[in-house]
Amino acid sequence: MHATRRFPLTFARRVCRAPRRRLVAVLLLALAAIADGTPSLAVQPDEVLSDPRLEARARHISAGLRCLVCQNQSIDDSNAPLARDLRLLVRERLKAGDSDEAVVHYVVQRYGDFVLLRPPLNAGTVLLWLAPLLLLAGATVFAVRQFRTVGRTAAPDTAIEAPLSDEEKRRLDDILNRDGRSSS
């Protein structure tokens, strides 16, 4: 009887574990797909040039151009309509025979240095390049001042205390005597 009881429990456990294993397998596959290290490119099949060399040049140029809508992605990675327009513009200019530099120059002339993911260091962008250093220097100065202030106020035990004057002693005695009378 004991052996027959054990068989149904084992069978039930196996049956219950099978959906869990499937669920775990599906979740692991989904995680692998999400965590895949390859970037997801937003380039649509109708945008791809038939010449592989021109397409490679277009991808190289697009990787260095910022999506003006997303601002943290290249136009190759962005699904925004403006990014699509810029990708098509790059490909049109390449088909027209422009060099890579000419295409980038054309886009910068239309949209400014901000369209470049790595803007050049010039008078117009010097603040962009120096801002992180200025913020770091300002934060360092602020932290040093704060630590010095805390260091001065945090150690009252080391400060020399002046003795009480006669007036202060008399007032202290009055306060202590008053409290003594009210509590008795």
Q: For each successive 10 residues of the chain (184 residues), what is the average pLDDT?
A: 52 58 72 56 73 89 89 85 90 92 93 86 81 92 87 60 88 84 53
pLDDT reported for residue 101? 94
pLDDT reported for residue 110? 92
pLDDT reported for residue 107? 93
- Which of these CATH numbers, 3.40.50.10300, 1.10.3720.10, 3.60.9.10, 1.10.8.640, describes 45-115? 1.10.8.640
Residue type, 161: E
Domain boundaries, the chain: 45-115
Q: How many residues does the chain have?
A: 184
Residue with token string 């791809």: 48
pTM for the complete prediction? 0.50
Residues 74/115, Cβ–Cβ less than 8 Å: no
Residue type, 112: G
DSSP for 69-106, written as a single string: TTSSSBTTT--SHHHHHHHHHHHHHHHTT--HHHHHHH
pLDDT reported for residue 127? 81
